[in-house]
Amino acid sequence: LPEQEVPVSPRMLSAREEGILLLVAEGKSNAEISEILAISACTVKNHMQRIMKKLDAANRTEAVAKYRTFGGAKSSPRSLAF
């Protein structure tokens, strides 16, 4: 049987993942995001890998595009509770 595609949903992301993706959408690098959120760049990278897997995205740009296409938050990442 062919594998069925699971629809992408921004609700698949945790609040932290959503905040990181919103910062990526602003053009922030992993290093910049790590400074803003006071976490290591390695942790940001791990979050991005999970985000891309959840959204079935090949790269950061595609992850942001899919997130926006399927109704991801339009709020500022600084307004999200972490």
Using one digit for the tens of pLDDT, what is the confidence trace for 8-36? 565 689 999 999 999 999 999 999 999 99
DSSP classification of residue 48: H
pLDDT band at 77 (very low <50, low <70, confident <90, very high): very low
Note whether 33 and 20 are within 8 A (CB): yes
Q: How far is CA 73 from CA 30, 43, 44, 46, 57, in A?
A: 20, 22, 19, 21, 18
In this prediction, what percent of the chain has a pLDDT beyond 90? 67
Task: Give the whole-angstrom CA distance, residue 4 versus residue 59.
Answer: 22
The model carries a pTM of: 0.76
